[in-house]
Amino acid sequence: MTTELRTVLGDLVSVNNRLTRLAASVSGNAESPAIWRTIAVLRDLGPMRLGELARVSRVSQPTMTKLVHTLDERGWIRRIADAGDARAWLISADPSGGAALLAWRDEITAALEPTFADLTDDEIATLAASVEIVRTRLERARTAMQTGDVA
């Protein structure tokens, strides 16, 4: 029923909010979630223009300009001039950026692992299935957005 779907969605966002803080705090807090999110998007979806990267990441274009600047300073992305449009850049994840992302994931998963160590195989499968469900909806929201939809 719709009521239950809404409840679950609300709980999902709420719990995620706290999990994100937990992940940030168990890592050394060296880099922000926004940095890792941006690299992850680039790795998952491939090189794209700055504006599209902003839309996919659900941040404003100026915010993405800043993030890309920071990532560029770290050497974690490449800016490739877009042949055919002198205004545009293609933003691509540098291998070092991917490596940094993996290192961060290692760090937080190692820190979180004890707390989740007693999960059964079924529970792990449940989490994996949920990740897939949310991932497909994020992708859907992305493509819907491109066609002018709201959510």
State the distance between the two ends of the chain, measured CA to CA, in whole angstroms. Answer: 21
By beta-carbon proximity to its own copies, the closer residue of 96 and 115 is 115
Q: Closest separation between CB of residue 54 and DNA, Å?
A: 7
Residues 103, 115, 147, 148: which binds its own copies (CB under 8 A)?
115
User: Is residue 133 involved in binding its own copies (CB under 8 A)?
Assistant: yes
Residues 52, 57, 67, 90: which binds its own copies (CB under 8 A)?
57
Residues 26, 59, 108, 112: which binds DNA (CB under 7 A)?
59
CB 106 within 8 A of CB 27: no
Q: Closest separation between CB of residue 52 and DNA, Å?
A: 7
Residues 61, 65, 96, 109: which binds its own copies (CB under 8 A)?
109
Minimal CA–CA distance to 81: which of 45, 43, 54, 49?
49
Give dist(CA 108, CA 27) in Å, integer. 5
Q: Identify the residue whose tokens are 């290192």.
A: 103
Minimal CA–CA distance to 69: which of 54, 87, 58?
54
Partner interacting with residue 29 (select from DNA, its own copies, none; CB below 5-8 Å by kind): DNA
Q: Closest separation between CB of residue 2 and DNA, Å?
A: 28
Q: Where along the sequence are the contacts to its own copies (CB under 8 A)? A: 2, 4-26, 33, 36-37, 40-41, 57-59, 105-106, 108-117, 119, 123-124, 126-131, 133-135, 137-138, 140-141, 144, 150-151
